[in-house]
Amino acid sequence: MLSAIVGAVAVTLLLPVAAVGAFRFIDPPTTAYMWRVAHSDDVAVRGGIHQRWLDFERMPACMPLAVVAAEDQTFPSNYGFAWRAIKKAVIHDLKGGDLRGASTITQQTAKNLFLWPTRSLFRKGVEAYIAAWMVALWPKRRVMSVYLNTVQFGDRTFGVAAAAHQFFNVSAGQLTRRQCARLAAVLPNPAGYSAVAPSADVRRRARWILGQMNNLGAGYLNRTFDRR
C-alpha cells in the first residue's frame, strides 16, 4: 500500500516536470485555461477561441517590453519569483485580506499552461513548483515566447498574434508601441477590459506602461533574450 502511495506521489510530481521539459522544444497546442474556456458552453456556441502560435523572432520588440513594464519589471534578473512582492502578499493574506497575486511572468506562464484560475494557497504552491522547474529548464526567451502566445488579451482571444488581428486588424509584427502598451494594459482583467475600445482606466494604464517602457529603454531585454 505504501509503495503504491509513494509511486502515485512520484508520478504526480514528475508528470509536470516531463511536460515542462517537453514544452521547452515543443510549442504547446493548448493550455489548461484555453481548453477550459474553449469548452465552455457559451464560447463553443460563439465559435471557440482565437489563438495561433507566433515564433518569437516575428514578435515586435515592443510587446515583450510592454508586458515586462506592466507585469514584471524584474523579469531579466529574477529567478521566477519576486520574493519581496510575495512576502507582502503573504503578510496581507495572513492578516485576513483578499488573496493577492504576486506573480512573475514565469509564474503566470505556469498557471496558464497547467492550472485552474481559482485563487488558493494550494494552487499557488503548485504554481510555484512548476515555475521552479521552468526556471531550471527554460531560458528566459522561451518563457516569454510561451507567455505571449498563451496569455489572454480579451474575450476568447489568446496570444499576441490573435490579439493583433482581432483588435487592430494587423499582423503582430506591425503592432506599434502604443498598441503594445494597450494590449499589456488589459492583462489584469482581459475579460472585462478592452484593447480596441479602452475605458478611461485602460487608457490611463496604457499611458503609464508607455512611460515605463521609455524609462526601461528599448534595449532593456536584449541581453536577456540573447541567452537562448
Determine what percent of the chain is predicted with pLDDT higher than 70: 83
pLDDT of 137-154, one tens digit each? 999 999 999 999 999 999
What is the pTM assigned to this prediction?
Answer: 0.88
pLDDT given for residue 1 in this prediction: 65
Residue 158: its H or E element: strand 157-158
pLDDT of 90-136, one tens digit each? 444 544 454 445 589 999 999 999 997 777 888 888 999 999 999 99
Which residue ranges form the domains of the chain, and what is each CATH number? 2-226 (1.10.3810.10)
- Interval 175-190 mean pLDDT: 97
Rounded (10°) CA dihedral 28, 30, 31, 34: 160
Asked whether the beta carbons of 100 and 125 are under 8 A apart, the reply is no
Asked whether the beta carbons of 185 and 28 are under 8 A apart, the reply is no
Surface-to-core class of residue 146, CB atoms within 10 Å of its CB (0-12 exposed, 13-18 middle, 19+ buried): buried
Three cell numbers, residue 196? 480596441
Which residue's entry shows cell 536584449? Answer: 222
pLDDT given for residue 102 in this prediction: 58
Backbone angles phi, psi at 50, to 5 degrees: -110, 120
Asked whether the beta carbons of 180 and 207 are under 8 A apart, the reply is no
Q: What contacts 197, CB < 8 A, 6 or more positions away?
A: none
DSSP tag of 196 = S
Query: Per-residue pLDDT for 83 more than 70?
Result: no
Distance from C-alpha of 53 to C-alpha of 148, rounded to nearest angstrom: 9
Query: Per-residue pLDDT for 168 more than 80?
Result: yes
